[in-house]
Amino acid sequence: LMVTSEETQGRVRVEEIRISSERAFESEEIVWNLFQNDQGAPDIIVCMDEVDTEAVYQAVIDYNRVGETQVIGYYKSPATLDAVRRGTMAMSLYIDTEQMGKYSVQAMME
């Protein structure tokens, strides 16, 4: 975390929330709680899987936070790519496993 201004330093807070996939609809419940807490919705949310990305993005729309809560998604589903193209999602990260495998084999051969 990098804070560039001393006057905003006290207002910056980073929090990790782990969402387990053991129960149905757990992602949606946790995301709903994020947007309903007393401190207000987060400014930036970084998602680490496709299910969470979809749940967060839908909540941003439902709670009318487009342009206010930035979403960094994960995966390249058609809905995610469309949201990035329209500018309603900041970006989406995607790991190209095929390329990673090729580079790993190449490194082992070297």
State residue 96's pLDDT score: 83
- Residue 87 is assigned to a structural domain of this protein: yes
- Residue 93 is assigned to a structural domain of this protein: yes
- Residue 36 is assigned to a structural domain of this protein: yes
- Residue 5 is assigned to a structural domain of this protein: no
> What is the model's pTM?
0.69
Number of domains in the chain: 1
- Residue 94 is assigned to a structural domain of this protein: yes
Write out 24-44 in H/E/C secondary structure: CCHHHHHHHHHHHCCCCCCCE
Q: Where are the alpha helices (DSSP H) in 1-110?
A: 26-36, 50-62, 78-86, 97-109
Give the model confidence (pLDDT) of 59-76 as tens digits: 888 998 888 888 988 887
- Residue 104 is assigned to a structural domain of this protein: yes
DSSP class of residue 9 equals: G
**For residue 8, what pLDDT band results from cuts at 50, 70 and 90?**
low
Domain residues for 62? 26-109
CATH of the domain at 55: 3.40.50
Q: What CA–CA distance (Å, rounded) separates 48 from 66?
A: 20
